[in-house]
Amino acid sequence: MRLPLRLEAFRERRFRLLFSAHAFSLLGDNVVPVALAFAVLDLTGSVADLGLVLAARQVPLAAFVLVGGVWGDRLPRHAVMVGSDLVRLASQGLLAGLLIGHQATLWELAVLQAVHGTATAFFRPAATGVVPQTVSAELLQAANAMIFLASSSATIVGPAISGALVAAVGPGWALAVDAASFGVSASFLARLDVRGRAQAAAGFLAELAAGWNEVRSRTWLWSSIMDFALFQFVVLSSFLVLGPAVAKADLGGASAWAAILACFGGGSVAGALAAMRVQARYPLRAAVVVILGMAPVLLLLGAAAPTPAIAAGAFVGGAALSFCDTLWVTTLQSHIPADSLSRVSAYDWMGSTVLFPLGLAVAGPVAAAVGIRETLFGACAFLVVSSCVMLSLPAVRHLRAALAATAAGQPAEALEAVEPS
């Protein structure tokens, strides 16, 4: 019996193991924000200290992601992921033990979160590169959509679990759940028998430069990385920082913002489900158009519309973002040579990890200077302009999905060689 496309990838044992590992670790990761926030606030009561601990996790992630990309191409990727999981199991487990035993200090929290961020920098590029090694080419987009579905679901379920654990037994036990999730993930990944071998090392800087050459030689690639980095810097940051301010001033407070975020998460689930079924012949063209679905929520927030209207806009925005992420990752995996994929993915991750925190930091001051309404409308205008710029690039408009190119008698490799410019 033929399974629906959205489920067929589960027939492949390697993908089942990879998906299971992702599902557990993503759930654990989404337990952390609530637990870590209350751990720091219980310890020192300082919001500034919380910012310090969060920065201690993000800075090494941005600093080491390119290093992680090189090692993701040098070594078997699932082995890099197992090593990263074991390091995060140790760091989060030690932190949980210190909190449960009431022995934790602020510097210990910061150092252990820095260890966690460094390990994550090695995990992410390897995780992007390993997916095509676990699933058939025709199921690659559906497989990526399933992983995004797990991620979207975890953003809804994880904080709820964390809140219950923090209220019942304290933040230390919530972080213990996160640590355990890495152990479960590593146990699945250790059984993953993906094809591939360790690559001969040509020197770190030479390999890093070779990865950059893969990026700069493709107009569709470097322009998309820049566009999405700026999207996070301007659009997503404005939504996440200024949305709560609008909710507090005009919508009745935290409950309204919680409802908006819940709808955004629900939309992310819907977008991943749609990506399991919908195949785009020109994926980047489709992604650039679909991402305009983030515009309504910005306009509605700027106009301080009723909460149900903003929530509906957030649902559309979440669906658009999730759908576009799936198209983007699948395009990257389909068109980049396998032996360079982790390094190229690392440049993509670096754009996200560097500019997004900076956007979160500057959105408030910009709004204080020009106004919340004006900043949100400006972010919407930026989204429209940036989409028009991307659509003006032939390399973006004409890039075909790998399967569509093959069906037309043009392999993806040949397509790269004659990419429009």
Q: pLDDT tens-digit profile of 279-318?
A: 889 999 999 999 999 999 999 999 999 999 999 999 999 9
Q: Does residue 207 lie in a domain region?
A: no
User: Residues 247-272: what's their mean pLDDT?
Assistant: 86
Q: Which range (27-36, 44-53, 374-383) has the least confidence?
A: 44-53
> Do 173 and 249 lie in a common domain?
no
Q: Is residue 315 part of a domain?
A: yes
One domain for residues 230 and 103: no
Q: Are residues 9 and 103 in the same domain?
A: yes
Same-domain pairing of 283 and 409: yes
Based on the fold, state whether residues 184 and 255 are members of the same structural domain: no
CA 31-37-39 angle, to 5 degrees, is 95
Domain hosting 82: range is 1-191
CATH code of 221's domain: 1.20.1250.20
In this structure, the answer to whether residues 235 and 358 fall within a common structural domain is yes
Confidence band of 413 (pLDDT split at 50, 70, 90):
very low
Q: Is residue 209 part of a domain?
A: no
How many CB atoms are located within 10 Å of the residue 154 CB?
Answer: 23
Residue 350 and residue 420 in one domain: yes
In this structure, is residue 206 part of a structural domain? no
CA–CA separation, 356 and 307 (whole Å): 26
pLDDT in tens, 238-256: 898 888 888 888 888 777 8
| pTM of structure | 0.83
User: Would you give the DSSP letter of residue 195?
Assistant: -
Are both 150 and 25 inside the same structural domain? yes
Q: How far apart are CA 211 and CA 161, in angstroms?
A: 40
Q: Are residues 272 and 374 in the same domain?
A: yes
Nearest to 150 by CA among 260, 268, 236: 268
Please count the structural domains in the chain.
2
Domain's final residue, options 174, 191, 208: 191
CB 326 within 8 A of CB 275: yes
Report the C-alpha gap between 326 and 269 in whole angstroms.
Answer: 12
The segment with the largest mean pLDDT, out of 47-51, 117-121, 361-365, is 117-121
Residues 179 and 244 in one domain: no
